[in-house]
Amino acid sequence: MKTIIIAGPCSAESNEQIDIAISEAKKRKVDFLRVNLWKPRTKPGFEGLKEEGIKLMINAARNGVNPATEVLTPGQADFVMKRVLSAAPQTKLLLWLGARNQNHFIQQEIAKLASRDKRVSLLVKNQPWTNEEHWEGIIEHVVKGGISKTVLINCHRGFSPIGKNPYGFRNSPDFEMAVRVRNKTKIPVVFDPSHAGGSVENVYRLARQAKIYALDGIMVEVHHDPKNALTDSKQQVTWSQFDDIIKEMGL
């Protein structure tokens, strides 16, 4: 399977930030740039640029960098598809379903919308709690929604830790489960060391651990100035650290 590299900031914050991300992505092999418009938050805070940020996605797409965003509702998926694909017809677009979005009616509806255009891929993340059946169920629901397996990507972002957690992972990965789900579903699995690790040190540690499982790629948070990021500042790596992470994971 082809290696899939998805990188970029936790949230799209400003024109300047995404302009820098576009030029850094162009220097590297990045299949999709995170230009993420909606942020589900544990507690109220910056929730993303929302609809207003669409011009940043369009800017990436017009510059030959394929944009990616989480969508939480079919309305958001429809809005992003219409706006981005009409403004930059040559682009590819990645939509993703986040870990918290576990309403299967919504999962199916978003998959149905995504399936209407060949330029759109759909990534699904595992749910926050450990349960292999539920994770497989997400895949089954989106396939039921009509999305083709050829444009589906599965993302392992770890599970809420229970018990021993000596390195303080934000979400503990279960790489063996990820490999089993990959083998059963025949859908590529990328690893998200950012939401699993929760800190830059752990992002490096987990990229190193992931290497032996030879997964299909990575989704990683990268920011030109992580300290001043509006969300997930502790776990975002710089673009030069991104180059290390890719090597550590053997991609």
Binding site for Mn ion (CB under 5 A): 10, 232
- Could you say which residues in the range 170-209 bind ligand PEP, by CB under 6 A? 195
| Residue from the set 4, 5, 7, 10 that interacts with ligand PEP by CB under 6 A | 10
Q: Which is nearer to Mn ion, 10 or 138 (CB)?
A: 10
Q: Which stretch binds ligand PEP (CB under 6 A): 20-28, 81-89, 96-104, 175-183?
A: 96-104
Across 158-249, where does the E strand assignment appear?
A: 189-191, 217-221
> Are the C-beta atoms of 41 and 79 separated by less than 8 Å?
no
Q: Are strands 152-156 and 120-125 parallel, antiparallel or unpaired?
A: parallel
Q: Which stretch binds ligand PEP (CB under 6 A): 84-92, 94-102, 180-188, 197-205?
A: 94-102
With b for 16 or more beta-carbon neighbours within 10 A and e for fewer, the 123-150 pattern comes to bbbbbbebeeeebbebbebbbebebeee
Among Mn ion, ligand PEP, none, partner that 217 touches (CB below 5 to 8 angstroms by kind): none
Structure tokens at 238: 């710089």
Q: Nearest distance from residue 108's CB to ligand PEP, in Å?
A: 18
Among Mn ion, ligand PEP, none, partner that 109 touches (CB below 5 to 8 angstroms by kind): none
Q: Nearest distance from residue 10's CB to Mn ion, in Å?
A: 3
Phi, psi for residue 35 in degrees, rounded to 5: -125, 70
Q: Which stretch binds ligand PEP (CB under 6 A): 49-57, 97-105, 145-153, 176-184?
A: 97-105
Q: Are strands 67-70 and 4-8 parallel, antiparallel or unpaired?
A: unpaired
Q: Nearest distance from residue 229's CB to ligand PEP, in Å?
A: 12
> Are the C-beta atoms of 242 and 34 separated by less than 8 Å?
no
Q: Which is nearer to ligand PEP, 157 or 223 (CB)?
A: 157
156 binds ligand PEP (CB under 6 A): no
| Residue from the set 7, 8, 95, 125 that interacts with ligand PEP by CB under 6 A | 125
- Could you say which residues in the range 57-86 bind ligand PEP, by CB under 6 A? 70
> How far is residue 153 from each of residues 22, 84, 117, 120, 217, measured CA to CA in Å?
22, 20, 16, 11, 10
Angle at 248 between CA 96 and CA 250, to 5 degrees: 75
Using CA atoms, how far apart are residues 82 and 121, in angstroms rounded to an integer? 14
Among Mn ion, ligand PEP, none, partner that 31 touches (CB below 5 to 8 angstroms by kind): none
Residue ranges binding ligand PEP (CB under 6 A): 10, 36, 70, 98-100, 125, 157, 195
